Amino acid sequence: SQTIHQWPATLVQPVGSPLSLECTVEGTSNPNLYWYRQAAGRGLQLLFYSVGIGQISSEVPQNLSASRPQDRQFILSSKKLLLSDSGFYLCAWSVARGYGYTFGSGTRLTVV
Amino acid sequence: DQQVKQNSPSLSVQEGRISILNCDYTNSMFDYFLWYKKYPAEGPTFLISISSIKDKNEDGRFTVFLNKSAKHLSLHIVPSQPGDSAVYFCAASVGGGADGLTFGKGTHLIIQP
C-alpha cells in the first residue's frame, strides 16, 4: 500500500533562517507530488507541484522553492524565512492523472 | 479571485441530524469535485468526490450533490456523529487535478450532543 511521510511535524525557526521540509512517498512509482500551505484563516493554497524528477511548477510567487531529487522525494526550501511563511505545510501525492490526492500529516511552521 | 468558495466558516449541528455543507465555484471549466475532512494538526483525508457528468454521489452517510447550472455543490452527512466534528474543505479541478486542486477556505463543522 502507498504511504506518504512528511517531517518534521512542528518547526519553530527565526526570521532569516533557512528551511528544508521533506516528503517521501512509498509504494508507488512516478507519483505527482504537491506542496500546499494552509495559512491562518485561509484555505489550502497550492505552492508547487511536480510530475517527475527535476520538474517543478510553481503556482504563486513566493519566498520558497521546491525540488524533486528522486522519484518519490519532494523537498520544500527557503534560503531566508519571513514571518509570513508561517503556516501549516502539507505534502500530497496523486497518480499521474490525478483523481484523488493523499495528504501527509503536515508540518506546522512558526517563524519567530 | 477565489474560484472555490465556502461561505460558511462554521456550522453547528445537533448529533443525529443532517449536516449540509455548501460550496460554490466560479470556474466553469471545473469538472471534478472533492470533499476533504481535516482535524487540527493533521493532513486532510479524502471523503467523497463527484464528476461533472453526475449530479449525485453517495457513500454511506455522505452524499455529494452537484448543481452545474448553479455552480454549486453540497455535502450531506446523515446522521451527524460527534466524530464528524472537523473542518471540511471543498476542492475542484479541471480533469483529474494532476496540476493541482483548488480548495475553498473550509467550513468548521461542530456536532453538538
Read off the pLDDT of residues A7-33 as tens digits, 9 standing for 90 and up. 999 999 999 999 999 999 999 999 999
Contact across the interface for B93 and A98, Cβ inside 8 Å: yes
pLDDT at position B57 is 97
Is residue A60 predicted with pLDDT exceeding 90?
Answer: no
Mode of pairing for the β-strands spanning A107-111 and A10-13: parallel
Mind listing the pLDDT tens digit for each residue in B33-56?
Answer: 999 999 988 999 999 999 999 999
Contact across the interface for B100 and A49, Cβ inside 8 Å: yes
Among residues B35, B72, B112, B93, the alpha carbon closest in space to that of A32 is found at: B93
Pick from A42, A99, A102: CB nearest B105: A42
pLDDT at position A39 is 80
Contact across the interface for A44 and B103, Cβ inside 8 Å: yes
Chain A residues with CB-CB distance to B102 below 8 A = 46
Whole-angstrom distance, CA of residue B58 vs CA of residue B3 = 25
- Residue B104: closest C-alpha in chain A: A43
The answer to whether B7 touches B90, Cβ cutoff 8 Å, is no
Whole-angstrom distance, CA of residue A24 vs CA of residue B31 = 29
Contact across the interface for B4 and A41, Cβ inside 8 Å: no
Contact across the interface for B43 and A94, Cβ inside 8 Å: no
Interface-testing mutation among A44, A55, A91, A102, with chain B (most B C-beta atoms within 10 A): A44
For B22, other C-beta atoms within 10 Å of its C-beta total 17
Cell of B51: 464528476
Whole-angstrom distance, CA of residue A57 vs CA of residue A79 = 19
In tens digits, chain B (113 residues) has pLDDT values of: 789 999 999 999 999 999 999 999 999 999 999 999 999 889 999 999 999 999 999 999 999 999 999 999 999 999 999 999 999 999 999 988 888 899 999 999 999 99
A7-10 contacts, C-beta under 8 A, 24 or more apart: A7/A107, A8/A107, A9/A105, A9/A106, A9/A107, A9/A108, A9/B41, A10/A107, A10/A108, A10/A109, A10/A110
- Residue A107: closest C-alpha in chain B: B41
**Mean pLDDT, chain A, whole residue set:** 92
- Residue A42: closest C-alpha in chain B: B105
